[in-house]
Structures are given as structure tokens and as C-alpha cells.
Structure 1
Amino acid sequence: MRKFLSTLAMAAAASTFMSPAPALAETANPFKCQPGEKYVMNVMVSGVEYWFPVYEMFKQAGQQLGCETAYTGTPEYDVNKQIASFDQALAQKPAGILVHPMNSDPFIEPINRAVDQGTAVVTFAADSPNSKRVSFITSDNLAEGTYAADAVAGAMGGKGEYAVLENPGQDNHDKRVSAFVKRMETKWPDMKLVGRAASNQDPTKAYQAVLSLAQAHPDLGAVFMPEANSAIGAAQAAKEGGGKIKVMLADVNAKILDMIKAGEIYGSVNPNQGMQGYMGFMLLWLAKHPELIDPMNDAKRAGSNAMKVPFVDNGFSIVTKDNADDFYWDKYLKRRGTKGIEE
């Protein structure tokens, strides 16, 4: 994508030198927002730290193109309330919305309605593939689950009992868990799945679930969960049980990082959130301005958006004791000198 943007920039520069003088003002910089052109990011559980660096880079990309941006969502883990917040943002007629749909199917109608209204929509981290969204950006959830399984099984010598905590119905979390379990079954046959529990991003539920699982299975050696909140409760339960249960998760926050550094959590696979936000904005902006591209396909004949890019992988990082210091939000925000989601 970087190469693609550089090529476009060079093409724009070339057209500037080749155009007659009166056209210079019009062609000098097509990559610029009109006054009042606004792009919105929308999430559920809006206080979760994961979203903050995503929005930070979403905001930076917007500023570089002279666009307005806003952070929106609902503090609850409730798909209906998130849809209500999405509709509130849509009522302001933004140019585009970057949305993390809590569940795929309930978001089909709201996303389609937004697109029909003229608002571009890109999904991130979780998808609504049957909607009219033009692009989807995420880390490879299957690769994340696969890596986590290899890390845990390798640390246990390829033999032992494990359990998973999950949030049924959330697309990206489901993929991480299913990939984790599948990898264990195919590559690590001596790793035995002894329990599953729905923690639904609730540390208290996760704490109680791990206590129950450990009581029922005294040889439990590891537990994996696809997000950070549950890991806080799971790690506390593991610590109280003597620390023999390895806690592996996806995503990080300050508390998780502290626990990784203290040895209370084994490790985490963390999506590259900044790239998710930055490239998410660029996909969204280009989706709103497809007139800038003229690909050799049937987009015009079919009446579809010429910029449609089904999937972009923003990559992920492996967080351990060795690099945990690089992932603290407060340090990152101080280095950038901004107000984060407040601007």
C-alpha cells in the first residue's frame, strides 16, 4: 500500500508539471478533504484501551489530508446500543465511517443504509462480509490463534491440558479461538482440550471460570482467550492457584503489560493497531473518492465502487517481557503530544 500511495503521489506531481497553467490549482493536490469533510470511527465498549491507538493513527491520517475526524461508540458490550451509536453518527452525514461491528449480521442493514446514503464504510478488526462495506482491515486472526497455540504448546513441551475462554458471536474472537483449537488438534495431538467457557470480556466471569476449570482439572496447564479483559481475571485465578497455568491472550492494555512483565501472564499476540487505524482511514478516504482511480475492470458497468479492496492485513506483534515497554498507551500518547480520543 505504501508503494501504491507513493506511485499516486508521483503521478499527481507529474500531472502538475504537464498541465497548462490555469489548471494548476485544480490538479496540484487531489488528496485533500473539502471543508467540513468528516470521517468517523465507531466501536462498542468504547472505553477499551485497544481502540485508542487505532483512532490515534486514524486521526493522524485524517489530519494529513485536512479532514475532520471523530471517535464514537457505546461503552456497553451490546450490539443494539452500538448500532444506535452508529446511526447517531450516520445522522450527521459523514463522508465515511470506519466501524468495528460487534456482530456481523446485525450490522448488514445499518452499513447498507449508510452506503446507500453516500457514506463510505470500511470495517476493521471484525467484519460484516455480507454488507456493502467496501473494505475490511484486520490482522490475520487465524494466524494469531495459530501462533498462540504454538507458543503455549511449545512452552509445555507439547503435552498437557488446556482450556479456552471465549466470546461467542464476535467474529474476530471466534476466529482466534477456532484457530487456536484447530492448531492444537492438528500439530499438537498430546495437548488435550479439557474445557471451554464464555467469559464475554468480563474479568469476573473469567476469574470464576478459570477457578472452576482448575478445580475440575488439577493438571490444567494453560488457558487461552481472544482478548485482554478476560485475561486479567484469568491471570488472577492462575496466580491464586500457584502460577502453574500459563495465560495466553490476544490484545494488550496497561494492566496486561504490567502482568506480562511480572510473569503473571505468559504472553500476547497484539494487532498493529496504529497501522489498522492509518490504513483503515486511507481505505475509507479512497472509497469515498473512487473518481481518483480508473482500474481496468467492470466497476463502472456494474455500478460498484472501483476502490473495493476485500481485505488488508495490518499485521500483529508478539508481546513478551522483552518488548512490553513499547506498548504502553500513556507513553505513546506522551510521545505523540496529543489528546488521544478527546480530539
Structure 2
Amino acid sequence: MAIRNWLIGVAASAAFVSGASAQADSKFRCKEGETYVMNVMVSGVEYWFPVYEAFKQAAQSMGCKTAYTGTPEYDVTKQIASFDQALAKNPAGILVHPMNSDPFIEPINRAVDSGVSVVTFAADSPNSKRASYVTSDNNREGSAAADMVAKALDGKGDYAVLENPGQDNHDKRVAAFIARMGEKYPGMKLVGRAATNQDPTKAYQAVQSLAQANPNLAALFMPEANSALGAAQASQELGGKIKVMTADVNAKILDMIKAGQVFGSVNPNQGIQGYMGFMLLFMAKHPDLIDPMNDWKRAGYNPMGVPFVDNGFAIVSKDNADDFYWDAYLKRRGTKGIEE
């Protein structure tokens, strides 16, 4: 009888735990039609695709819907218009890469005030009401890129940077690259800077001009992959002796790294960026899921706001370039990417 009663007790406890678990799990599920949106500028840039793929993966595991939105242009006014179009559909949350910080303050605040959670990724709008920011550490990225270039040149040589002034994450990468060179490699000399704004043609023209003015130009750094396409073309036409170091990758950049036309790239962990971006959005939308011991109710802030999540990064070279191809990633996952 004692054993029988014990077994009944264990079964009852298991049922209770199972029921409690199922009840808890059900809270971490979306309601019918609950939709989360990702919004970007230059929407055809391959960088965004793995971010959205993991964003979508996290959402689907919780029964949520997603949408990929943005504008194909490098134009903050047009991106804000696309953000507003997404907001008009009253999504549960928006994961946004703000092209410029300050112009996005009002749209983000308006979204949050209307009950839509907002999280920024890869670039931030820190003075807005966004709940969280997920990115790789841009300062560490710039420093790592500088280390790779300087070591390949034995710490001596002329270098230049191509940049996109006003884009928060790009500005940080460039500033960190230059600062690292100055602090650790006194033999590396900055001889020029040019704004290319993610335009391969402008990058090509800038490198031609920089090389003409600086015959000993040995290296270039740019904070994104589009400019690297033009920079690498110019470098090849100039004899291929200028090391092109970039950030982010796409299929063309990976091919060029393997061919030795691009020296290397600093690539954020896009999948973690998208996955954590969704989780932060969901939690910001559902702050009642936990009861933290703090003053959030009295102070009136969202307790699920996390100031910063570091998604990490990798250095891409000839040795590991094959691990970063988007088409192979999609094939492995069996999805249609941003078309879903």
C-alpha cells in the first residue's frame, strides 16, 4: 500500500510539474496573428539575410509571424517612411537598424508610445525609447581588423580608410581601427580618408585617388562590404599590393577573400543578432512574463529593457571563408530566406 501511495504521489507531482510547465510554455507563445517586423535600409544587402533568418527561426519556434521590410536606397528619409508603413500595420514589435541615430528618435518614440516594442540592431538610436540594442562590439571589431592588417605588414606602412559618416556602427569601427593603429602600431601611418557611403563606384574612385596621392599605400579599411567591392577592384588594377580589409561579408566578398583580392573581413554573428533581437522584442512586448525585484512600476519603465547585448563576431580569412556562404546556409536550413 505504501509503495502504491508513493507511486500515486509521484505521478501526481509529475502531472503537476508537467501542467505547470505547459502553462508556462503557453505564456511564451504568440497570440493568433501576432507579428514582428524587421526594418532596414539598403534592403538588398546580403548582410541582413542571416539576421532575418534567425529572427524568423526564433519567432516560428514561438508561433509568431514575421515580416521583412525596408527600403533599397541608402536614404534615411525613405527608411523612416518604410518604418512608418510597417508601424501602420500595428505589429507587436519592430527590430530596426536605424541608418542614422537622431532622425529615428521621433519614429521610434512614436512606435513605443503606441504600444509597439522596438529594439535596435547593428546600429543604435540611444536617445530614443527603444527597449534594447543588440550588436557586436564595434570597437572590438575595429581593433581586431587593425591587428590583422598591422601584423600582416609587420607593423609598418601607409593606410587609408573609406567610411560612411553618420552611421553609428560604421563610425565606431573606423574610429577604433584608427585608434588601435595609433596606440599599438606607431609604424602604421594614416594617409587619407574618403566618404564612400556604401557605393562601390565611389570606393573605386576614392582608392584610385588615394593611391595616386600616396604611392606607398599598403592597406585600406572600410566598415562595410559594398565599398570593399570597388576598393578591391581598384587594388587589383593597381597591382594587387594594397591589402583590403573590410567588415561584413557576402558571396562576392567571400569569393574575393578566397581569391586573395580582399585580405579579410570582420563579420558580426548575424544569426545570434537576429535570434536575440527577436527574443528581446518579444520580452519587451510582454513585460508581465517575469516579476523582477525593482522599481519598474513606480518609475514607469519597461523592465524587459536590456541596454546592450553583444552578439559576437568572427574574423573571416581564406581559412574559414567557406563557412559563411548564404546559399549554403539556406540549403542547410531548407528555407527561402527573406521570401518567407
Give the TM-score, by structure 1 length. 0.93
Alignment match of 1:32 (pick from 7, 29, 33): 29
Contact preservation (8 Å) 1:202, 1:229: yes
Q: How far apart are residue 130 of structure 1 and its match?
A: 0.2
Deviations 1:131-177 (A, max 9, x none): 00000000000000000011111111101100000000000000000
1:99 paired residue number: 96
Q: Percent of aligned pairs with the same residue? A: 79
Q: Following superposition, which runs of at least 4 residues in structure 1 exceed 2 angstroms of deviation?
A: 14-19, 23-29
1:17 paired residue number: 16
Query: Of the two, which has the highest radius of gyration?
Result: 2
Contact preservation (8 Å) 1:16, 1:27: no
| Whole-angstrom distance in 1 between the partners of 2:91 and 2:46 | 25
Alignment match of 2:139 (pick from 142, 161, 165): 142
Deviations 1:80-102 (A, max 9, x none): 00000000000000000000000
1:6 paired residue number: none
Alignment match of 2:329 (pick from 312, 328, 332): 332
Please say if 1:239 is aligned against 2:236. Answer: yes
Deviations 1:206-241 (A, max 9, x none): 001001111111000000000000001001111111
Cα 1:28–1:333 shift into 2, 3 Å: closer
Contact preservation (8 Å) 1:16, 1:28: no
Cα 1:173–1:223 shift into 2, 3 Å: same
Cα 1:213–1:88 shift into 2, 3 Å: same
Q: What code does the residue aligned with 1:160 have?
A: G
Please say if 1:203 is aligned against 2:200. Answer: yes
Q: How far apart are residue 29 of structure 1 and its match?
A: 2.2
1:71 paired residue number: 68
* More moved, 290-299 vs 309-318: 290-299
Q: How far apart are residue 15 of structure 1 and its match?
A: 11
Structure 1 unaligned residues grouped into runs of 5+: 1-13
Secondary structure of 1:130's partner? coil
| Whole-angstrom distance in 1 between the partners of 2:300 and 2:23 | 26
What RMSD over aligned residues (CA atoms) do the two structures have, in Å? Answer: 1.5
Cα 1:332–1:238 shift into 2, 3 Å: same
What are the residue-to-residue correspondences of 1:92-131 with 2, within 5 Å?
Answer: 92-131=89-128
Cα 1:213–1:290 shift into 2, 3 Å: same
Q: What code does the residue aligned with 2:323 have?
A: D
Cα 1:241–1:110 shift into 2, 3 Å: same
| Whole-angstrom distance in 2 between the partners of 1:175 and 1:27 | 41
How many residues were matched structurally? 328
Please say if 1:296 is aligned against 2:293. Answer: yes
Please say if 1:217 is aligned against 2:214. Answer: yes
Q: How far apart are residue 335 of structure 1 and its match?
A: 1.1
Secondary structure of 1:200's partner? coil
1:192 paired residue number: 189
Q: How far apart are residue 308 of structure 1 and its match?
A: 1.1
Please say if 1:48 is aligned against 2:45. Answer: yes
Give the TM-score, by structure 2 length. 0.94
Alignment match of 2:257 (pick from 253, 256, 260): 260
1:306 paired residue number: 303
Q: How far apart are residue 294 of structure 1 and its match?
A: 1.1
Q: What code does the residue aligned with 1:152 have?
A: V
| Whole-angstrom distance in 1 between the partners of 2:197 and 2:22 | 53
| Whole-angstrom distance in 1 between the partners of 2:85 and 2:155 | 50
Secondary structure of 1:211's partner? helix
Q: What code does the residue aligned with 2:207 have?
A: V
| Whole-angstrom distance in 2 between the partners of 1:136 and 1:17 | 38
2:84 paired residue number: 87
